[in-house]
Structure 1
Amino acid sequence: MHFRDRREERTGFQESGPYKASYDLQTDFVMVYGIDQSMPQRVKDWRDKGYVVHLMTGVSWGEYQSYLNGQFDGQLHWDEGQRNQENQDISHGKDVPYMVPSISFSKFLTERIKIAVDEGVEAIHLEEPEFWVEGGYSEAFKREWQIYYKEPWLPPHQSEEAQYRASKLKAYLYTRTLDRLCSELKEYALSKYHRFLRFYVPTHSLINYTQWQIISPESKLIDLPAIDGYIAQIWTGTSRTPNVYEGVRKERTFETAFLEYGMMQELVSGTDRRMWFLHDPIEDNPRHTWTDYQENYFKTVVASLLHPDISHFEVSPWPRRIFEGKRPSEDAVELKGIPAPYATTLLTVMHTLGDMDQEDIQIAGKSEKIGILVADSMMYQRKRIDASDRASSRYDGTGEISIANYQDQELLDFSHFYGMALPLLKRGLWVRPVQLDNVRRFSNYLDQYRLLMISYEFLKPEYPDIHNVLAQWVKEGGILIYVGDDSDPYHQVKAWWNTGHRKHRSPRGHLFESLGLSSDTEQGVYKIDQGVLGFLNLSPDKCAKSKANSDVLREFMNDCIEKYNKDIILEEKNHFLIQRGPYTIAAVLDESINAEPLELKGMYVDLFDPELKVNEQVTLHPNENTLLYDLNYRPSDTDIKLIAASSRVEKIEQTKDGLQMIAKGPEKLNAVARLSIPKEPNEVKCVIEDTEQTINWEWDQRSKTIFLQYIHNSGKETTISLNWKG
């Protein structure tokens, strides 16, 4: 029994430190972070340990002082840092400004990254192309405005028009930079080394960037042929950002992560590009307890696994800070290292993620997908224009935001989006963010949906032909529900729907016109050929603020379905449950239709349990989730099967008297494994480099599985032998 090749690159992590046995996670690949004098040695050391080696570096911030101070081309470039309305630097640290991505900056990055190409890395990750909404005031940005718009710069806080145009320019600048970088370096690698170099962009979700008031290329990256894929940078730090549901503002980590991962799935939907889903066992904010980190980590893992189209994972950023760092204890009196049971469970989950490419996917209950249309333009209208000319509040997940006033809090809540998504998601409905911009890219993009919701109160369609596609989709049998009251001040920006012969108050008017209706159409449900348009004349943020309005939204959607398309059945429940091969993934929602527990009966191994216990019944209560191995799933054609392990199991082979297993993992961490074998052994041995080590084991007669507990040592091979003869 042999196991996957590292070249499948199913699991990986990023690390800026040198190789160290204490965080040798034994994934398929490692992303060596940062380009400095130590980079060549770090690449070599990780490669020598058997890893496929990639490189990751920041594309909007980093240790770029040689460029800023003129060593690169003899010119100072401090005027290319992002600056806010008060002419202050927007920085990631001391002397580390977020950059305005000029042509000369892209040249600098290209030359800098060539060093990594020369070292033979197989792929390069250009992370977090970010331009803050509060930026747009530096001299470099003013120059770019003049080049792009062919007119003098306008302060972004001056009007909705100026803010919207500044944001579009910010997205364009990072799109241009990534296109230049990736194209030139791919040509460099092919011409000099006859080697195909891959490029990936680790990026937050469109939902998170919009909520945190950051501009990024997002779906525009789909148009760049030199980009090979992405990492979905979603973790507790993004997903714990509070939102409002039925008038209550609080953290909803599972629900937010579910939507974020769904959003990132859209960046590769219909393409051959790769997506890795990221999890982080802790997060950037160091003030939470280990228990808090663990609970929220489980929520993000489960949320990601409910999207079975993705089966590649970045299992951790910065494992050094996880396995060597310290965080508050429960009594908050002192900082402590990671609890041993959590460390063991982390390793088990990380290796389990490498086995998620399962063909057999079973979703419990009705799984009709409800698409909520979103667009890159959500990021372009994330500043309120008022008489005070205040700078935007800034939130980056590392601490508490200082809210200037009620309107700032309203903006951060992003209730226009969550007001449509949470009333459905909280009823166990399969809500999916759907990228509106993609309807122009892929002719069949909407084919998998029969029910879509849209509002232009927090986004704008950038091209009128989008409505042609939506109208045709409706006419062919789709149900489109429009939620909005035309109250958004950004409807007034100078755009295609209100210029020339088009004089619509909002883009909704053109959408309705494309469907054969007047822009003055009153709220109601309208038959359009074989499909339906439902118009709910209500701003979607109001659906977040009260249960009454959440109920209005749900009831209106049901009216649209019941009146015109009764074969669509939405099954409301308080949980999600899915089977990916032998793996059962489940989450029970709080604030749902009831507080009843979900009970699963059978024979399961709990993969969130450091002892990998076998359970004949698993009970989940609201706000709980699980990842299980179903021992009753499809009996194997072999008597020996690895169920789970907190090691990378390189090989299991049957011997004359039993079996032998080769395992690797970080040193000094408690390792566990559970195997299905024919019968109880009478001897179990653990050997590292000819030295016998302590191993504990326990036989479970009900499941005919054995539980092993042992210690890794310095990343060396651990040989475990089971003997059941003699």
Structure 2
Amino acid sequence: MKRTYGLRFAVVVSVLSGSLMLFGAAGARQPRTSFQTSREWRPELHLPADIAIVYGTNPGLIETWKSRGFMPFAMFSASWLSRDAEIVKKNPGIVQMMAGGQPFEMIPGRAWVSPTEPWREYMKSLADAHIEAGARAILPEEPEYFASTGYEDAFKKEWRKFYGEPWRGPYTTPASVFKANRLKASLFEEFYRDLCGHVKEKAPDVLCIVPMHSNLNYAQWGIVSPHHAISALDAVDGFVGQVWTGTARGMQKVGGKIESDVFSYALLEYNYFENLTAGTGKSLILLADPVDDREGDSWAKLRDWHEDTLAAALMQMRAAYYEVVPWPERVFLSTDKYGAAGGSAIPQEHASALMTMWSAQRAMPGGGRYAGGTTVIGALTADTLMWQKGAGSDRLAGHLAPMLSLARAGVNMKVVPAERMAEPGYMPPGIRLLIASFDAWKPEDSDIVDGIASWVKKGGILFLTGGEDAFNNIDSAWWKKVGYDTPTDALLEKLLPGVTSAKKVVLSGAPGPDGKPASKEVKLTAAPQAPANISYLGDLTALAPAVLYNAAAAGADVWMTVDGQPAVWAAGCGEGVLVYSGVPGEFVAEKKSGEDFLAAILEAALARGGKNSFIATDIHQVSRGPFLIVHSLRGSHKLKGSFIDAMKPYQPVTDETVVEEGGNAILLDVVDASMDWCNLEASACVVFAGGNVSGARSAPDSYEFLLSGPEGVYGAAWVVMIASQNPPSKAFYKLPGGEEMLIDIGKGWHGLTGVQHLIAPLHPDGTLVRLEF
């Protein structure tokens, strides 16, 4: 059986219909991995990747990477530049301003701008210069309009054009906050329509790709950006999903505890991008970063966080392209940013692990199978999540907590862009139950509500929560125009007509004794006909406001009550099921009993809908071809099989892998990989390596190959002996211009699979590795 080894392909690229079409024909390698840098090529940065994304305003750097065999892309910021840049100094009216006339400067020395003229023309000139220098793609990154800004002259002018009325300060009312952030999103939508359209006019075969953070992260950081609107632009070819330690490490409140959970949050962020792009023809590149913008953390902590994000990225089975590192200069050249007091260079074994992890990303096949819990649950989010950042209450915690609680429980959790529900028949595959709440975000258009209702009536299970929020009261909103107080009312009436006829909102509990103010809590009591698992919960103290509807009169089954009135209930809707909870998602954020409540309601909802029971596990596992990606949530887990762990470069093949609690593994099945990737008529084959493998030559008594990568880093290789099941007698390496050196291979042999593990220094021009039999 002959198949070409996944790390020894040549590049074949074709640009068809505005999308990057990548082919892996026999003898050809897809350009799967990339990195971004603001430096010219140098031997310490010669990474085992396909694409060099040259960052900044100097197109002259492109040739230094192109001449070394990298496909050149060009990236620059869509929203900021040095405050001393000529375009900024000549046009102070475009600088994003906060109340009081203070320029926004999250990072000292940078000016964030309103993406209006003349900024757009400047961006076009920058794109032109990079295209002329040979860039195969233009990546204007991070469209970021901050919620605290909107006081600059350019924005005031655009307000008058967009709304046909005088500008209003963004923080006066929830309605003005919503309108201001809607306009900010619209300006970046038009920015990309203009810029990417220009790129296509100038060079139709050059890609226009948008690198940006997830809408969950941007909402948490108070940034407005139009993810879905950008994805709908014909001239945009795809996204880089920018997720890393910095976006995923934030403290989140779940079950009353404020904690950081990098893996779970990254899992949600990456999955948002997967579902934003799947089926659209847009490419998706997922980013992970071995370090962080915040300096001072130990290399050990940085490695743990990076492995968390990388495992989460590889669990997105419809993604196959990766940005393995932004700023490799921070990783391989700096000695004062990370590590012990005063800083230190990256440990050698850690650097070697990056080589093998990046090789795993490069070789990772598309598709796969989730091998963890069997329940697939989706949760809706929308870009209007960012429109509600400003005046009024911040409902983000109640939005995030249910998703995080379920991801931590081992549920196969999916984050669904609500805007796509307006597409006929849209729903990511496998989702049995969908969670929705219009508290932290609002459906921008009634088509979204129509799509949700249609999905339920065709057999879906919807768990809808909350419904009371200050941003409901926007006179110009579509639900007001059609006669509803809230978008929740509009959806409920489509599913269960008449249910909103006697609505009551309980804003607080009963007043306390001795004149104490009323509690902001309400008591949930199980109804006599409630499912057993809900009755088992007993009385719960939940958070107000509680929204109570005339559910019993509408034919619903009441599960829990507040003050004797239906608060949690279920009803059949066509072929599907609606389960409604009148308490907000903040209940899950603030109380452990909120997590118990969520799990019980979802279990009962699945049972009501005739689906499999709610099943959670202690481990997330995804198999993709010969790879198994693992994250342990609770306890240690033993996995049997002859595996290479790409996260442990100095470890030979093992027959049992233990993944400790909170740990990760990227496991390669040696037998499957050898059968798929090796020429079984050769004397030996590199089945996996940390570095580029080329120039393999096989003889009856020897086998040699070139192993290349950044200077100063050691690469690991696992070589399967095909002609003989005996270990090699000796192994050597030879650097370009150097002498042949003996490799210690004494402890690297795995007899069951006939695989020899070895380590050798890397070199951009290739280190010759030779094994004698």
Q: Output aligned runs, 1:27-176, within 5 Å.
A: 27-36=49-58, 39-40=59-60, 42-63=61-82, 65=84, 67-68=86-87, 76-91=90-105, 93-176=107-190
Match of 2:426 among 439, 444, 448: 444
The one-letter amino acid paired with 1:505 is D
The one-letter amino acid paired with 1:696 is D
Q: Which residue of 1 aligns with 2:415?
A: 433
Distance 1:571 1:278, change over 3 A: same
Q: Which residue of 2 aligns with 1:20?
A: 42
Q: CA deviation at 1:625?
A: 1.6
Q: Which residue of 2 aligns with 1:716?
A: 765
The one-letter amino acid paired with 2:461 is I
Structure 2 spans left out of the alignment, 5+ residues: 13-29, 504-548, 550-565
Radius of gyration: which is bigger?
Answer: 2
- Deviation sequence 1:422-461 (CA, Å, 0-9, x none): 2221221111110110122454345643210100110101
Distance 1:537 1:651, change over 3 A: farther
Match of 2:751 among 697, 701, 710: 701
Q: Which residue of 1 aligns with 2:510?
A: none
Contact 1:612 1:674 (C-alpha < 8 Å) held by counterparts:
no
Q: Which residue of 1 aligns with 2:261?
A: 252
- Deviation sequence 1:673-701 (CA, Å, 0-9, x none): 11221331223232333633423333332
- Deviation sequence 1:82-103 (CA, Å, 0-9, x none): 0111321112545531000113
Distance in 2 between residues matched to 1:22 and 1:43, nearest whole Å: 17
Distance in 2 between residues matched to 1:551 and 1:162, nearest whole Å: 38
Distance in 2 between residues matched to 1:201 and 1:446, nearest whole Å: 22
Q: Which residue of 1 aligns with 2:712?
A: 668
The one-letter amino acid paired with 1:152 is P
Distance 1:82 1:442, change over 3 A: farther
Distance in 2 between residues matched to 1:447 and 1:671, nearest whole Å: 39
Q: Which residue of 1 aligns with 2:628?
A: 584
Q: How many residue pairs align between the two structures? A: 675
Q: Which residue of 2 aligns with 1:546?
A: 591
Q: CA deviation at 1:358?
A: 4.5
Contact 1:289 1:327 (C-alpha < 8 Å) held by counterparts:
no
Contact 1:283 1:293 (C-alpha < 8 Å) held by counterparts:
yes
Distance in 2 between residues matched to 1:471 and 1:329, nearest whole Å: 51
- Taking structure 2 as the reference length, the TM-score comes to 0.84
In the alignment, does 2:329 pair up with 1:320?
Answer: yes
In the alignment, does 2:485 pair up with 1:505?
Answer: yes
Contact 1:31 1:55 (C-alpha < 8 Å) held by counterparts:
yes
The one-letter amino acid paired with 1:114 is D
Q: CA deviation at 1:178?
A: 0.9
Q: CA deviation at 1:529?
A: 1.7
Match of 1:348 among 352, 356, 360: 356
Distance in 2 between residues matched to 1:255 and 1:69, nearest whole Å: 39
In the alignment, does 2:494 pair up with 1:514?
Answer: yes
Distance in 2 between residues matched to 1:132 and 1:448, nearest whole Å: 36
Distance 1:543 1:143, change over 3 A: same
Match of 2:277 among 268, 274, 285: 268
RMSD, matched Cα: 2.0
The one-letter amino acid paired with 1:9 is P
Q: Which residue of 1 aligns with 2:464?
A: 482
The one-letter amino acid paired with 1:160 is P
Q: Secondary structure at the match of 2:80?
A: coil
Distance in 2 between residues matched to 1:597 and 1:692, nearest whole Å: 45
Q: CA deviation at 1:259?
A: 0.5
Contact 1:289 1:328 (C-alpha < 8 Å) held by counterparts:
no
The 10-residue stretch of structure 1 (166-175 or 2-11) with the greater mean CA deviation from structure 2? 2-11
Distance in 1 between residues matched to 2:310 and 2:759, nearest whole Å: 24
Q: Which residue of 2 aligns with 1:4?
A: 9
Distance 1:64 1:26, change over 3 A: farther
- Deviation sequence 1:485-520 (CA, Å, 0-9, x none): x33211112243443341x22110000111133223
In the alignment, does 2:477 pair up with 1:496?
Answer: yes
Distance in 2 between residues matched to 1:214 and 1:428, nearest whole Å: 30
In the alignment, does 2:640 pair up with 1:601?
Answer: yes
Q: CA deviation at 1:63?
A: 4.1
Contact 1:649 1:663 (C-alpha < 8 Å) held by counterparts:
yes
Distance in 2 between residues matched to 1:90 and 1:654, nearest whole Å: 61
Match of 2:390 among 383, 386, 391: 383
Distance 1:721 1:200, change over 3 A: same
Q: CA deviation at 1:237?
A: 0.6
The 10-residue stretch of structure 1 (112-121 or 596-605) with the greater mean CA deviation from structure 2? 596-605
In the alignment, does 2:218 pair up with 1:212?
Answer: no
Contact 1:418 1:541 (C-alpha < 8 Å) held by counterparts:
no
Q: Secondary structure at the match of 1:336?
A: coil
- Deviation sequence 1:398-431 (CA, Å, 0-9, x none): xxxxxxxxx8xx76xx311222112221221111
Distance 1:696 1:536, change over 3 A: same
Q: Which residue of 2 aligns with 1:400?
A: none
Contact 1:129 1:216 (C-alpha < 8 Å) held by counterparts:
yes
Q: Secondary structure at the match of 1:185?
A: helix
Distance in 1 between residues matched to 2:294 and 2:284, nearest whole Å: 25
The 10-residue stretch of structure 1 (436-445 or 242-251) with the greater mean CA deviation from structure 2? 436-445
Distance in 2 between residues matched to 1:158 and 1:150, nearest whole Å: 18
- Deviation sequence 1:309-328 (CA, Å, 0-9, x none): 11111000000111011257
Contact 1:200 1:230 (C-alpha < 8 Å) held by counterparts:
yes
Distance in 1 between residues matched to 2:300 and 2:482, nearest whole Å: 60
Distance in 1 between residues matched to 2:406 and 2:85, nearest whole Å: 51
Q: Which residue of 2 aligns with 1:369?
A: 376
Q: CA deviation at 1:139?
A: 0.9
Q: Which residue of 1 aligns with 2:577?
A: 532
Contact 1:603 1:614 (C-alpha < 8 Å) held by counterparts:
yes
Distance in 1 between residues matched to 2:391 and 2:347, nearest whole Å: 45
In the alignment, does 2:439 pair up with 1:457?
Answer: yes
Q: Which residue of 1 aligns with 2:238?
A: 229
Q: Secondary structure at the match of 2:630?
A: strand
Distance in 1 between residues matched to 2:673 and 2:291, nearest whole Å: 35
Match of 2:662 among 623, 645, 651: 623
Distance 1:627 1:116, change over 3 A: same
Q: Secondary structure at the match of 2:39?
A: coil
Q: Secondary structure at the match of 1:680?
A: coil
Q: CA deviation at 1:104?
A: 2.2
The one-letter amino acid paired with 1:253 is V
Contact 1:239 1:254 (C-alpha < 8 Å) held by counterparts:
yes
The 10-residue stretch of structure 1 (490-499 or 23-32) with the greater mean CA deviation from structure 2? 490-499
The one-letter amino acid paired with 1:130 is E
Q: CA deviation at 1:557?
A: 1.2
Contact 1:308 1:580 (C-alpha < 8 Å) held by counterparts:
yes
